[in-house]
Amino acid sequence: MKQNFSVNECYSFAQQLNDVNYKSLKQLLIEHYDSQLLYQVSQLIEGVSQSIGNDFGQDEELYYNLVTHIQVRLNRLQPLDVQTGLNSLLETIAEQYEELFEAVNENFSKAFNGLRLNSEDIAFIVIHFATSYEKYPVSRRRVRLLLVFSAEINSIEILENRLVKALPQNDV
Q: How many domains does the chain have?
A: 2
Say whether both 149 and 126 belong to one domain.
no
Query: What pLDDT was estimated at residue 165?
Result: 77
Say whether both 71 and 149 belong to one domain.
no
Say whether both 101 and 159 belong to one domain.
no
The kind and range of the H/E element at 71 are helix 60-75
Say whether both 96 and 147 belong to one domain.
no
Which residues contact residue 85 at a Cβ distance below 8 angstroms, ignoring those fewer than 6 apart?
120
The amino acid sitting at 100 is L
Say whether both 27 and 81 belong to one domain.
yes
Does residue 91 belong to any structural domain of this protein?
yes
Does residue 1 belong to any structural domain of this protein?
no
User: At residue 171, what are phi and psi to the nearest 5 degrees?
Assistant: -95, 120
User: What pTM was computed for the model?
Assistant: 0.63
Query: What pLDDT was estimated at residue 43?
Result: 97
Say whether both 96 and 150 belong to one domain.
no
State the residue range of the domain holding 14. 7-139
Say whether both 92 and 163 belong to one domain.
no
Query: In whole angstroms, what is the distance from residue 92 CA to residue 72 CA?
Result: 23
Three-state SS string across 148-164, please? CCCCCHHHHHHHHHHHH
Q: What is the mean pLDDT of each run of 10 residues along the chain (172 residues)?
A: 73 67 55 81 96 90 91 73 66 90 95 90 93 74 64 71 70 52
Query: What pLDDT was estimated at residue 84?
Result: 60
Does residue 2 belong to any structural domain of this protein?
no
